[in-house]
Amino acid sequence: MSNSGGMMALSQPSQLAAKQYGVTKPISRAGPTAADLQRTLELEKFLVHSGLYESEEEAAKREEVLLRLGQIVKDWVKQLTGLRGYTDQMVEEANAVIFTFGSYRLGVHGPGADIDTLCIGPSYVNREADFFFVLHDILANMDEVSELQPVPDAHVPVMKFKFDGISIDLLYASISCLVVPENLDISDVSVLYNVDEPTVRSLNGCRVADQILKLVPNVEHFRTTLRCLKFWAKRRGVYSNVTGFLGGVNWAILVARVCQLYPNAVPSMLVSRFFRVYTQWRWPNPVMLCPIEENELGFSVWDPRKKPCDRTHRMPIITPAYPCMNSSYNVSTSTLRVMMEQFHYGNKICEEIDLTKACWSRMFEPYLFFESYKNYLQVDIVAADADDLRTWKGWVESRLRQLTLMIERDTLGKLQCHPYPHDYVDASKQCAHCAFFMGLQRKQGETVQEGQQFDIRDTVDEFRHSVNMYMFWRPGMKIHVSHVRRRQIPSYVLPNGYNKRPRPSKPTSQVEEPVKSFHVTEVYGSEHVDGTRKRKNEDMAGEKYDVIAKRLSSSAESHDPISSNILDKSVDILRSSTRNRMCLFEVNRFEVLASNGFSADAMSDAQKVRPVESIELSYRGKNDLDKGIASSEQEPECASNSSVITSATSDGGSSDDAGIESVADCAEDNMVGVEGTVREGDEMGSLQDAAREGDPVARLENTVTSAKGLMQVSFGTVRAGKVLIPGA
């Protein structure tokens, strides 16, 4: 018995190697070395100590909640069946079943995580009235249910609530049968017969989760790697589908693809290869786990050759179940830039870990968002009570992605936004309140012309108008957008403040004229009130440039992902430059809206009331400081993935990985799922060409002249007396 077991264990790698997973051959079939196994043990130990695994008690409670919820929906369907006049036998046979998907189905959920669930019911029970009204009322009257929040107008309609303390996201799908079998096979394409698009999207979550687990070589290695990278993404501020980053299914598909490319790798290897692959991936080439399937049902699938809207997707991550969709359509140019920066950061740390120069905890250090930009948009959300705030906040958060896209559109991509997917609460406010923040900076490498201005007043007005169209709006729900500088971030966001560097006394020869002043545009609520206001000079002297360089260096010590060579280059530029040491930052006056408004600045005792909802920026001269900081903000290329991984070196792990079969093997068929390269009369030629066709700048240039409220770029002479901000 023991000998046969050993034979089976020895034969398993060869069997694994014999099977190809995914649309291309693997990059490497090498297994782990002793060093890889040790690093994997250290990684798993770190994940356990970080509290990423739930207790047995919580796991049992989740199962109990799911059983209870399953019984509730069965009783609900039987009740509706009787009310619709069906026979007693039909009432007896009436049924609904609960499926799970997302992190719970994939086996990577942690303590306190919600459970993504899908209720499948018969054809005569609909979503609009029966689910969002009848079932909603049943749940609302149950003592175990709290924080009930229906979201019927979402892309995938959902009902959110807590059941006995466990967070539940409940979807509904009505399939074309009178009696739903208890053993329904949701992977079978027949469940899609005679259903509408929202139902297809609702069913897709479960179908995708099942397919992912079938398409990875080793489920346990996949789960550990995915759990690790989800934790990393949350710590680095890039885990949020709703704000334009990546959500759970996106990360799952990315990790699954790396598992396919390295079928015999263990989790520590897979984490390292993840960053190695995606720092060099040629977006917008798609990531796919299997070929895209066409079907006679005729549902729309992702195909940029035929659908112009698919050509605009910046980071296509294609779901593996029919109908195949782009799960990351929310990603914008700005959020893709941020994620690529974080991928490079992760790759750098993994290289250090492989060389035993760093430990796993280093990779999970939190991203210092409020030390990464000098200008921010602050979006304050208020409501009459906590329940209203929960629904209002969810709606506003879902629209923040639109604000990012609007700013990209109206500034032709020259003003970059970084929405941060975390909210902050001012406990001192009497009303229910929370705030979101967005970092702002001009695009690196842009030619700066004297007097260039980014006027986003109309952009903010358009955003505010779209938010106020909320169909469940209630009195007291308000939104306020204001511009704040880094040093003006309210105290409730950073209770301990910034680690401000001591400023040495400045020699007289290095003191400039006191030229700082600050002019703001004030926009508030939905009313406009004329008014202007001046602010006092903030500083009476310029700053010593060596001090500026020192601040830049110290930010790296605070774990900002900035390479030392870039810092050194920035320091040299700052010390040698005599004319371009400062960036002229101008915020002109606009009209004041609602004299009784407020901004988040006012929530800090040290700040004055400043109800600002838009800003106008002007820059003069090259911004050397920003130029030095942004190390990887180049536009993603619309090129072939034939050079996705151009080289790799032995890291003390798998020596076979150094060969990385010139990804002509790995990515020559990166588009295989869309029938490879496009031929036979396809005027686009290939998916790469299709991606080029969707160049956002070209599209935006065509819209500037026609759409009301778009940015008007003015290039004039800059007046004296504006704010000089070092490296703004």
Catalytic center residues: 103, 114, 116, 169, 230, 239
Query: What's the rounded Cα separation, in Å, for the pair 548 and 626?
Result: 12
List alpha helices for 123-266, DSSP H. Answer: 136-140, 197-214, 219-235, 248-261
| DSSP class of 379 | E
Handedness of CA 719, 722, 725, 728 (dihedral sign): negative
Q: Which residues contact residue 21 at a Cβ distance below 8 angstroms, ignoring those fewer than 6 apart? A: 215, 216, 217, 259, 260, 263
Q: What's the N-to-C CA distance of the chain in angstroms? A: 71
Token pair listed for 613:
């909802």
* Listed residue (423, 321, 278, 299) closest to 105, CA to CA: 321
Q: Which residues contact residue 398 at a Cβ distance below 8 angstroms, ignoring those fewer than 6 apart? A: 154, 242
Query: 283: buried, middle or exposed (CB in 10 Å: 19+, 13-18, 0-12)?
Result: buried
Is the Cβ–Cβ distance between 248 and 237 less than 8 Å?
no
Q: Which residue has the tokens 């210092």?
A: 368
Token pair listed for 127:
């979503």
| Helices vs strands, H then E, count in the chain | 20, 13
- Provide the Cα torsion 533, 539, 543, 549; round to 10°: -70
3-state class (DSSP) for residue 650: coil
* Listed residue (65, 177, 151, 81) closest to 114, CA to CA: 65
DSSP codes of every residue in 243-294: TTSB-HHHHHHHHHHHHHHSTT--HHHHHHHHHHHHTS--TTSPB-SSPPPP
Token pair listed for 229:
């990278």
Q: Starting from the edge strand earliest in sequence, which strands make up the sheet with 478-485, in order?
A: 415-419, 432-442, 375-383, 478-485
Strands 452-455 and 166-174: unpaired
* Listed residue (212, 203, 162) closest to 185, CA to CA: 203
Is the Cβ–Cβ distance between 724 and 542 less than 8 Å?
yes
Residue 172, strand partner residues:
119
CA–CA distances in Å: residue 193 to residues 175, 181, 188, 298? 8, 16, 10, 10
Strands 115-121 and 97-101: antiparallel
Handedness of CA 228, 234, 235, 238 (dihedral sign): positive
Token pair listed for 656:
């076979």
57: amino acid identity, one letter: E
48: amino acid identity, one letter: V
Element housing 557 (H / E): helix 545-557
CA–CA distances in Å: residue 122 to residues 136, 195, 317, 476? 18, 11, 32, 40
Q: Which residue has the tokens 């006027």?
A: 455
Query: What's the rounded Cα separation, in Å, for the pair 121 and 177?
Result: 9
E runs forming strands in 332-467:
375-383, 415-419, 432-442, 452-455
| DSSP class of 172 | E
Query: What's the rounded Cα separation, in Å, for the pair 331 and 170?
Result: 25
3-state class (DSSP) for residue 16: helix
Q: Which residue has the tokens 């195949």?
A: 324
